[in-house]
């Protein structure tokens, strides 16, 4: 009985210690765990020029323009906005108002030159008819999950 | 309570009685689940038909994590209470969990290419799931790395418990850090962000994967116990 309890205590204590160690490490290396920075993150902590990083946010509505294979658009987090320039093929799910992650560098003039664009999918799943009905009623984004 | 099922002979008897039912249930759930997933559910407004990958991807992700939690619990029981069946259960579950994790990684990659525009990224969710796959492989390797099976079971149990730290990281990675992978659709505080027509196949497939896991676990555990009995009989016959 006694040895059983000692083993239980040992397992619980070592898991607790390992868990705290993991939490401390993850907290320290948080910067490298973040997949992308939002425009607000950049305002709070400016990136060095020529430093490659990923910029994420929503494609601002009405901001997409294209000239040949080059696309200009704005990435916004509803708080701050950064304009992005990208030459190449866009993913199918690249749409205005949808999430996007752009990898590239920030130019000195504050414009972001992307070398790769990834579309970010959100957690909403619904049939087209429901989406159409929702946007017709003007309840898009408001009644995300409802019929 | 635990020790009522401690006897391997008793477990084998129960497993033999349960198995025909769980095999039938697994088959039924898969037929219904695949029918709903492929035919009786709508395409997504953004992803189109690609959404159907979710009906395999998400249930196998659930089961990959559930199986890991099961192995960790069995490992704790084995290390603390020295329960004879716990090692058998952990040993039987590990390859199943590894298979579920491999399915998650492959189907996720197939979904990621058309949706995100890439097969793979090193974001926190994808990376932590890959680590879980390696933990499963390590568990299987450690189990068989010793001449004395009990030492192998003990080493594997410790690995499973240490690796358990990865489970909350997988689950909450999408909330704690910015990831390319989307956050959870079902376990949200408000209503699930998934249409009822898509929820039906998802939950059916989830149940089917769970029934499959239970069935395979029972078969593998019973086979493991039978093999041990056969070895013991051979040894006593040789004397």
**CA-closest candidate to residue B214, choices B70, B3, B111:** B70
Backbone torsions φ then ψ of A85, nearest 5 degrees: -125, 135
Q: What is the DSSP letter of B194?
A: B
Integer Cα distance of B175 and B214 in angstroms: 30
C-alpha distances (whole Å) from B126 to each of A56, A71, A115, B43, B53 are: 17, 29, 22, 25, 17
pLDDT digits (tens, 9 = 90+) for B178-230: 888 988 887 765 666 788 888 999 999 999 999 999 999 999 999 999 998 89
Question: Which of B162, B180, B183 lies closest to A118 in CB terms?
Answer: B180
- CATH architecture for segment(s) A35-120: Beta Barrel (2.40)
Using a CB–CB cutoff of 8 Å, tell me whether B193 touches chain A.
yes
Integer Cα distance of A147 and B51 in angstroms: 19
Is residue B194 packed enough to be buried (19+ CB in 10 Å), middle (13-18) or exposed (0-12)?
buried
Query: Cβ(B138)–Cβ(B179) under 8 Å?
Result: no
Integer Cα distance of B128 and B168 in angstroms: 10
pLDDT of residue A145: 37
pLDDT of residue B177: 86
Contact yes or no for A91 and B117 at CB 8 A: yes
Mean pLDDT for back-to-back runs of 10 residues, chain B (239 residues): 67 92 96 93 85 94 97 95 90 97 96 90 93 97 92 94 94 88 76 82 96 97 92 85
| B residues 82..121 contacting A (CB < 8 A) | 114-118, 121
Kindly provide the ipTM of the predicted complex, given to two decimals.
0.80
pLDDT of residue A1: 60
Q: How far is A6 from chain B (nearest CA, A)?
A: 9
pLDDT of residue B192: 67
Integer Cα distance of A118 and A120 in angstroms: 6
Neighbours of A123 (CB within 10 A): 17
Helices (H), B84-146: 84-115, 124-143
Contact yes or no for A119 and B117 at CB 8 A: yes
> Biggest alpha carbon distance in chain B?
71
| A residues 97..136 contacting B (CB < 8 A) | 98, 101, 116-132
**CA-closest candidate to residue A52, choices A114, A101, A110:** A114
Using a CB–CB cutoff of 8 Å, tell me whether B158 touches chain A.
no
Using a CB–CB cutoff of 8 Å, tell me whether B178 touches chain A.
yes
**CA-closest candidate to residue B47, choices A123, A59, A4:** A123
Q: How far is A124 from chain B (nearest CA, A)?
A: 5
pLDDT per residue rounded down to tens, chain A (147 residues): 678 888 889 889 999 999 999 999 988 888 778 888 888 888 887 766 668 889 999 998 888 888 888 999 999 988 889 999 999 888 888 888 888 999 998 888 888 999 999 998 877 888 877 777 777 766 555 444 333
Using a CB–CB cutoff of 8 Å, tell me whether B185 touches chain A.
yes
pLDDT of residue B50: 87
Contact yes or no for A145 and B191 at CB 8 A: yes
Integer Cα distance of B31 and A35 in angstroms: 39
Using a CB–CB cutoff of 8 Å, tell me whether B2 touches chain A.
no
Q: How far is A64 from chain B (nearest CA, A)?
A: 18
Report if pTM > 0.90: no
């Amino acid at each position: 009985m006694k040895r059983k309890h000692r083993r239980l205590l040992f397992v619980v204590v070592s898991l607790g210690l390992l868990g705290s160690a993991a939490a401390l490490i993850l907290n320290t290396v948080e910067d490298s765990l973040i997949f992308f920075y939002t425009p607000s993150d950049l305002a709070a902590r400016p990136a060095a020029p020529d430093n490659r990083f990923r910029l994420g946010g929503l494609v601002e509505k009405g901001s997409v323009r294209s000239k040949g294979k080059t696309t200009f658009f704005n990435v916004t987090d509803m708080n701050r906005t950064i304009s992005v320039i990208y030459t190449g093929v866009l993913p199918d799910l690249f749409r205005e108002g949808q999430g996007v992650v752009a990898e590239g560098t920030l130019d000195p003039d504050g414009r972001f030159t992307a070398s790769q664009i990834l579309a970010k999918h959100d957690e909403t799943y619904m049939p087209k008819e429901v989406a159409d009905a929702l946007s017709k009623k003007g309840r898009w984004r408001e009644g995300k999950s409802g019929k | 309570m635990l020790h009522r099922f401690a006897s391997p002979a008793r477990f084998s008897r129960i497993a033999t009685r349960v198995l025909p039912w769980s095999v039938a249930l697994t088959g039924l759930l898969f037929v219904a689940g695949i029918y709903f997933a492929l035919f009786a559910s709508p395409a997504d407004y953004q992803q189109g038909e690609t959404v159907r990958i979710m009906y395999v991807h998400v249930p196998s992700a659930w089961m990959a994590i559930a199986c890991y939690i099961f192995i960790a619990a069995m490992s704790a029981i084995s290390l603390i209470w020295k329960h004879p069946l716990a090692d058998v259960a952990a040993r039987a579950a590990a390859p199943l969990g590894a298979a579920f994790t491999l399915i998650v990684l492959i189907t996720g990659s197939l979904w990621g290419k058309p949706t995100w525009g890439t097969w793979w990224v090193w974001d926190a969710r994808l990376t932590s799931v890959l680590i879980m796959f390696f933990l499963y492989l390590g568990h299987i390797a450690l189990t068989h790395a010793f001449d004395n099976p009990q030492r192998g079971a003990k080493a594997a149990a410790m690995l499973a418990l240490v690796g358990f730290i990865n489970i909350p990281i997988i689950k909450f990675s999408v909330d704690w850090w910015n990831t390319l992978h989307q956050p959870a659709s079902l376990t949200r505080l408000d209503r699930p962000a998934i249409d009822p027509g898509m929820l039906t196949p998802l939950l059916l497939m989830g149940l089917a994967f769970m029934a499959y896991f239970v069935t395979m676990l029972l078969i593998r555990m019973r086979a493991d116990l039978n093999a041990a009995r056969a070895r013991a009989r051979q040894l006593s016959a040789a004397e």
